[in-house]
Chain A
Amino acid sequence: MKLTNSLLASAAFAVLAGGAGAQEMTIVSWGGAYSKSQLRAYHEPYSEMTGITIINDDSAAEAVAKLRAMNEANNITWDVVDVVAADAIRLCDEGLAMEIDHDVHLAPAPDGTTASEDFGDLLVSDCFIPQIVYSTTFGYRTDLVGDNPPTEVCALFDTETWPGKRAIEKRPVANMEWALLCDGVPFSEVYDLLATDEGQDRALAKLDTIKDDVIWWSAGADTPQLLADGEIVLGSTYNGRLFSVIEEQKQPVEILWDWQMFDLDGWIIPAGLSEERQKRALDYLYFATDTQRLADQAKYISYGPARKSSAPLVGKHADLGIDMAPHMPTDPENAKTTFLFNYEFWADYRDDIDAKWQAWLAK
């Protein structure tokens, strides 16, 4: 009798869970402090408003490969996916992400400016809805640089003035650009030069000069840990990670904003969702990417909102109570010299340069 009861109970539970399934959506993101900021700025208010349960999945790092596999298996379990712009472009190229009509599907700014104008140049793909601007930039140990803190990114290559190990990412993007820039190439010519064999060799030759002093990182948490341990004198990482090292962990670290590499992160909707799920995903994104919501996210993490109209609404950090604007990569004081990730260039040259890069690393 007991067995029958529990069987009945579990069957009933399954039915309930199935019923609730209709009011659930799976949102994929990066985890950690970033997902937390989305939870507080977007998911919680949205769930409260609509009653839809949002399930977080932290597998954004493998999103492209997983979406491809899901697409081949014809079983897409994700509703909204947070990816970097380069991944969004690739997903769009592969037909794995749905094309968005930005003006139809997204909210206009409060003053009536259309969404496509509000996002401006940041709409780098038809499938991509920008969310934040982040940057890859350098942090240095204030106690290891003496009275001579670096002010330029080329400090990376100056091992005489600032001796010690430096951490840079184990991939060509951004490093090749910085190398050419510090080898005397004007900003406007960097990508034209990088498209040639000579330019690529020149960048690698410049990096060769510091190769023995480099610790290569592959996870965003590496550089903050290396800085905190005093393993390195300076190193590149995402600006939000540096913010938490400086403001939350109170380490003797400063940010070097010179020639920071801007990159975008945002949303895509997987292609091939059922009409109902697609509608729900679009409804969520209409809410989560409006002017106020993007500004809200900046209360929890130091990444710049992608809409122009959100910038004036950025306030204080929700827990620390400090003003967030000066910590944004987009703050005019910080953004005097910047790169914007050149998506078109890297989509074409990534494979080619990466092969050379790997061969160079292994030398």
Chain B
Amino acid sequence: MTNSSDTAQSGPMLAADGTPLKKSLARSLRNQKMRALALIAPLLLFILISFIFPIASMLFRSVENTIVADILPRTVVALDDWNADGGQLPDESVYSAFVSDMVEAIEAKEHTKLGTRLNYEQTGMSSLFRKSGRQIRKLDPESDGPFKEKLIDINAEWGEIKAWSTIKAHSVRLTNGYFLNAVDMRRTPEGIKQQPENKRILVKLFWRTLAMSLIITASCIALGYPVAWILANLPMRTANLLMILVLLPFWTSLLVRTSAWKVMLQQQGVVNDVLVWLGVVADESRLVMINNQFGTIVAMTHILLPFMILPMYSVMTTIPPSYLRAAKSLGATNWTAFRRVYLPQSVPGIGAGSILVFILSIGYYITPEIVGGTKGVFISNRIAYHISYSLNWGLAAALGTILLVAVLILYWAYDKIVGIDNVKLG
């Protein structure tokens, strides 16, 4: 504010209308911000309602577990004083509380839902609740007591500690059980344990998903880089024509492209037929190229290739060819000129393409399902199974959360190593 000393004024500077300049500047800036906010408000709201909120509520399911405490409120309280370690069955107060809770739950048709929930943890709970429900319905919680013997009569499993300790172990309202399941552990009445060896699958799938996504990203770079380079260096007219060849598969249905790979790669397929005809492989030892990891990698690399080529291309078109000529005129070999001048400038394109391809492939579902066989499926296939078949949405949410966190960590690592400012989509 040298101005004020020049004119030798005292006091704050005033605007034309007499208010202090600072204040009026702040007001007009605020107005500007409000206007900007109002302009983006529809988009912000849309993202909030259609994206942030559903994802947050889905992620919350990974720890939410109100069902046991809501459907069996009295039983849960009564079970507080009971401890499975004693080796004794709970006493009559638990049984009578359970009957009162169950009669209400059966009325509301909620007992089978609870059975399904507990069956995720303890096999057999689903039919225990469904079958006992038909009998317990007939009991009157007021007058028919005592219930301990009656319940054990209805189903001998109510006379086993296992049933009650399972209910107790899963009566907490917020649970870490789903996350434990997601990493092949489980919450048991005796504390946290590892799953038996023949049921450990999810950790393996996480690693496989990461490893295969990296391989797919790397093959996309290897195949996409030369293509993008050619496109960027050809005359516009030819480049546009070739660009259609890149985009054409991009516009074709995903399912069609995946199924086409099946026809190409299967043992009686096009590739094998040609190889046999050429005499490269014998007829009885045709190559197995589909329904395994190889099939998944080939099909997904093909499908995701445009996501690699397009950002690379748009970055490469901005690299002036004169730079390479300058490097060469200063004595660089072709290789040195490429390595020291061209490659560093194209890194933002590689970065953008890699992030796109990697993040897309880590969540891919339909292609691995169709061509992956048993060894080429991803964690997303298990998420889909738990969402639409087993209905264990809590576990699906936990798996999804872990996947999301893994991507964010990798993104952060990328930012540290390469720098996110170096990513250009065009």
Contacts and interface: CB of A to CB of B under 8 A. Distances in A.
Interface of A: 61-62, 64-65, 68, 90, 92-95, 165, 170, 201, 215-216, 218-219, 229-231, 344, 347-352, 354-356, 358-362
Nearest to A66: B388
Max chain A C-beta neighbours (<10 A), residue from B125, B369, B391: B391
Max chain B C-beta neighbours (<10 A), residue from A65, A170, A344, A359: A359
A138 to B, nearest CB: 19
Interface in B16-55: none
Contacts of A358: 201, 382
Given A170-B374, A362-B205, A349 B123 contact: yes
23 contacts: A61-B388, A90-B116, A90-B391, A92-B112, A93-B112, A93-B115, A93-B116, A95-B112, A95-B113, A165-B267, A216-B374, A230-B268, A231-B266, A344-B127, A348-B123, A348-B124, A348-B125, A348-B127, A351-B119, A359-B199, A359-B200, A360-B198, A361-B374
Nearest to A87: B389
B264 to A, nearest CB: 12
A215 B130 CA distance: 37
Contact of B110 (A65, A95, A170, A348): A95
Interface in B177-220: 195, 198-201, 204-205
Contacts of A354: 385, 390
Given A231-B267, A356-B198, A94 B119 contact: no
Interface of B: 108-110, 112-113, 115-116, 119-120, 123-127, 130, 195, 198-201, 204-205, 266-269, 291, 369-370, 373-375, 382, 385, 387-392
Contact of B268 (A68, A93, A231, A344): A231
Given A94-B113, A348-B123, A351-B120, A68 B201 contact: no
Given A347-B127, A351-B123, A361-B374, A95 B109 contact: yes
Contacts of B373: 215-216
Contacts of B385: 354
Which 9 pairs between the two chains have the least Cβ-Cβ distance?
A: A93-B112, A65-B388, A361-B374, A352-B123, A355-B199, A359-B201, A95-B109, A348-B127, A358-B201
Contacts of B113: 93-95
Contacts, number: 86
Chain A facing B: main interface SS:
helix
Contacts of A65: 387-388, 391
Given A344-B127, A347-B127, A94 B391 contact: yes
A94 B116 contact: yes
B374 A362 contact: yes
Contacts of B267: 165, 231
Contacts of B120: 351
A229 B390 contact: no
Contacts of A229: 266, 268-269
B177 to A, nearest CB: 14
A218 B389 CA distance: 13
Given A216-B291, A216-B374, A356-B198, A68 B204 contact: no
Nearest to B120: A351
A90 B112 CA distance: 9
A13 to B, nearest CB: 27
Given A62-B388, A216-B374, A356-B198, A347 B126 contact: yes
Contact of A218 (B205, B369, B382): B369
B199 A348 contact: no
Nearest to A171: B389
A165 B201 CA distance: 26
A39 B191 CA distance: 55
Contacts of B370: 218-219
